[in-house]
Amino acid sequence: MLRGKWCLVTGGNRGIGMTVAVAFAKEGASLMLVARDEPALASAAQACTEAGAGEVVTRAADLGDPGEIDALGEEALAKCGTVDVLVNNAAYTVPASSPLEGDPNDFDKMIAINLSAPIRLTRLLAPKMAEKRDGVIINVASVYGHVPSAMWGVYSATKHGLKGWSHSCAATLRPKNVKVVCVHPGCVYTDMARKMVEKDPSLAETIEGRLMAPEDVAEACMLAFRTSARCCPTDITLLEAPPVQPHYT
């Protein structure tokens, strides 16, 4: 489905981003993977190549720096001509970001990476999609974009903001035949969850038995391509197995 398409995936070095990239590679996509960790990017690129990607390039970038985002956008357009698919997946969080706890400098970093970066990168790449009248933008948000969290207040705020931006983009770009999809995963079994289990094996049954796999999120992203041009899945919410975590309420 994606042969001949260029897809840019932020946070493409591990977890959800890498899994989405591999899913795209299996459909023949060419990929630009973006993250800060260059060795992890190289490993992800190899996985995508082995999965069948047409071409894979990597780009180390700090998405908290507007100048680096601008340079990334320029490089992507120079390399690809048009980025056909943009996946805004990179995110940053800290254990506590509430009115009572946390470092405001960390709050600023979360806003920059989780919200400002997708806005800026979309502004750089969307005009070519609209001109071509073909493209897909996937914003990986969170269930925290629907329901606030007591302890993850700023993270929740960024995901609420990303949902709002995604809806605005959909209203603007849908008439241009560009799909904009916002995916809202619940808890996903990524490296962070795996490390928690390694540290405390008693959590294995609770975590491994309940949390969804990154492949579940990748499959949700694929819905944008499995549906016809007449259909755009604007919001996709994915919840892990019950019981729902107490901090969702």
Active site residues: 155
Helix (H, G, I), strand (E, B) or coil at 57: strand
What is the distance between the terminal CA atoms of the chain, rounded to a whole angstrom?
Answer: 39
Q: Alpha-carbon distance 108 to 104, whole Å?
A: 6
Q: Alpha-carbon distance 21 to 56, whole Å?
A: 10
Q: Alpha-carbon distance 94 to 92, whole Å?
A: 7
**Strand pairing class (6-10; 178-185):** unpaired
Q: Phi, psi (5° rounding) for residue 236?
A: -130, 115
Q: Nearest 5°: CA angle at 63, between 239 and 194?
A: 40
